[in-house]
Amino acid sequence: MELVNGVLRWRFRYDALLARLLSKPLRKKDYDLQLVLLIALHELNELSTPDYAIVHEAASQAQRLGKKWATGLINGVLRSYLRDREQLASSIDEDPVARFAHPQWLIDRLQQDWPEQFDQVLRANNQRPPLWLRVNLSKISVDDYLQQLGSHQMTAVRHSHALAALRLDTPMDVGQIPGFVDGLVSVQDAAAQMAAQLLAPKNDERVLDLCAAPGGKTCHLLELAGTIELMAVELNPIRMQQVQQNIERLNLQAQLIVADATDTQSWWDGRSFDRILVDAPCSASGVIRRHPDIKSLRQAGDLVELTEIQQQILQQAWCMLKPGGTLVYATCSVLKMENEQQIESLLRSNVDVEEVMIDPNWGVACRYGRQLLPGTEDSDGFYYALLKKMERRH
Ligand SMILES: C[S@@+](CC[C@H](N)C(=O)[O-])C[C@H]1O[C@@H](n2cnc3c(N)ncnc32)[C@H](O)[C@@H]1O
C-alpha cells in the first residue's frame, strides 16, 4: 500500500525527475519499466531501505519483466539520481506541478479559490492520512472509550469540534481496534463527522440521507438519535452493500433504497422529511491525502457534470423537506463551484431558503456555509452548509 499510495501521491514529482534523468522518454510498451523507476524513486525518497538494495532490486525487475536489456538503464538512471538528487530537486521545483505534485488544473483552481491558503492545502494533500475513529455515543462515552484504549496501551486525541472523534496516535488495522467488532467505534475522519453532528437529528423525526454509501454518516445519524425513521438512498448497489454491512455491525435500522436521488418519482412516497443530509458526489478534492489516485484520475472537465448533478440532487432534496425542516449540504471538496456556488444557485431558484449560521469557531467562513481545509486539526477537507426551509406564511 505504501508503494502504491506513495507513487500516486508523488507521481507528478517523480515524472518530472524521470523526464530529466532519461535521455529520451521510454516507449509506451515499456511503461512497466517507468513504473519500476517510479517505485524505486519513491523508496529512495521516503523509505528507510538502504539505497544500494533499492537500486539492486529495481534493476533485477528488468529480467523478471523479460527486459534484461533494461538492467543497465535502470541502474544508470537511479545512480544518476543518487549522484545529483539535490540539484535535480531544486531544478524541477521551478515547475509548480513538480513542486506540489499536483496536476496544473487543480493547482490553478485551488489558487483561484484559496489564494491565501492554496499552498498549505497542496502540502496537506501530500501528507499520509491519520486514523480517526467515531465513538458510538449511544453505547459509550468518549472518556470511557479513551480509558479502554489506555488499558490496551493505546493513546488518542480528541477533536475540538467533532464531539465523537478520536485520532489514534498509532494507526492500525481495524480488527485490532478495541471494541470495533462490537460496534463501539467506527473509522471516519473527524471532518466527515461534522455533517451528521450539524444536522442534529432528534428522536422520532423522519430523516433522509441522500447519497449514503458506504454509510458512515447513515450510521452516525442513527447513533445520534436511535429512533429516527431513516431512509438512505444510494445509486450504486454494490456500494449500498457496504451500508448494509455497517448498519448490521452497529445493530442499527434504516430503510435502504438503491435509486437515483434525482429520480424521486421512482422511490419517494410523497411524505416530506424533518431533516435531510445531502452528501453530494463531488471531485473529492478535500480527501486527496486519503485517495491520492484522485490527482491522476480526476480531470477539470469532470466538474461540469458533477456540479450539474449536485444542483439536481440539492434541488430535489429541497422539494422533499418540510417547511421548518433542516437540510445539510456537504461535500468532501474544497472547490467553490461544488460548494458555496451550489448554495447560491439554490437560493436563486427558491424563495424559502434560509441559511443558518454555523458556529464561527471552526473552519473558514465562505459566502455561504463553512469550509474545513485539509490538514486543519489533522482532518480532511470538507464543506458544509446548514439550511432551514421557511414556514409558509398564511
Ligand atoms: C460522498 S459519497 C457519500 C458518502 C456517504 N454519505 C458516507 O458518509 O459514507 C457520494 C455517494 O453518492 C452516490 N451517488 C452518486 N450519484 C448519485 C445519485 N444520482 N443518486 C444517489 N446516489 C448517488 C455515489 O455512488 C457515492 O456513494
- Give residue limits of the domains in the chain: 2-101, 131-187, 190-389
Query: Is the CB of residue 291 below 6 angstroms from any atom belonging to ligand 1?
Result: no
Query: Is the CB of residue 286 below 6 angstroms from any atom belonging to ligand 1?
Result: no
How many angstroms is it from 280 CA to the middle of ligand 1? 6
Catalytic residue, chosen from 211, 219, 282, 332, is 332
Mutation choice for ligand 1 from 211, 279, 334, CB with most ligand atoms inside 8 A = 211
pLDDT at 392: 77
Identity of the residue numbered 64: R
Atom number of ligand 1 nearest to Cα 261: 20
Torsion, CA 182, CA 185, CA 186, CA 190, rounded to 10? 180
pLDDT at 179: 96
How many angstroms is it from 241 CA to the middle of ligand 1? 13
pLDDT at 298: 96
Q: Which of these, 344, 338, 276, 347, lies nearest to 310 by C-alpha position? A: 338
Query: Is the CB of residue 213 below 6 angstroms from any atom belonging to ligand 1?
Result: yes
Query: Is the CB of residue 328 below 6 angstroms from any atom belonging to ligand 1?
Result: no
- Look at domain 2-101 and name its CATH class: mainly alpha
How many angstroms is it from 274 CA to the middle of ligand 1? 21
Burial 64-87 (b: 16+ CB within 10 A, else e): eeebeebeebbbebbeebeeeeee
332 in catalytic set: yes
How many angstroms is it from 308 CA to the middle of ligand 1? 15
pLDDT at 394: 61
Which parts of the chain sit beneath pLDDT 50? none
Identity of the residue numbered 347: L
Q: Which of these CATH numbers, 3.30.70.1170, 1.10.580.10, 1.10.1060.10, 3.30.930.10, describes 131-187?
A: 3.30.70.1170
Mutation choice for ligand 1 from 132, 235, 241, 243, CB with most ligand atoms inside 8 A = 235
Q: Which of these, 324, 303, 319, 329, lies nearest to 382 by C-alpha position? A: 329
- Residue with the nearest Cα to atom 1 of ligand 1? 281
Alpha-carbon span 164 to 269, nearest angstrom: 33
Query: Is the CB of residue 148 below 6 angstroms from any atom belonging to ligand 1?
Result: no
Q: Which residues contact 366 (CB under 8 A, 6 or more apart)?
A: 336, 339, 340, 383
| Superfamily name with CATH number, domain 190-389 | Vaccinia Virus protein VP39 (3.40.50.150)
Q: Which of these, 249, 240, 192, lies nearest to 216 by C-alpha position? A: 192
pLDDT at 359: 85
pLDDT at 360: 82
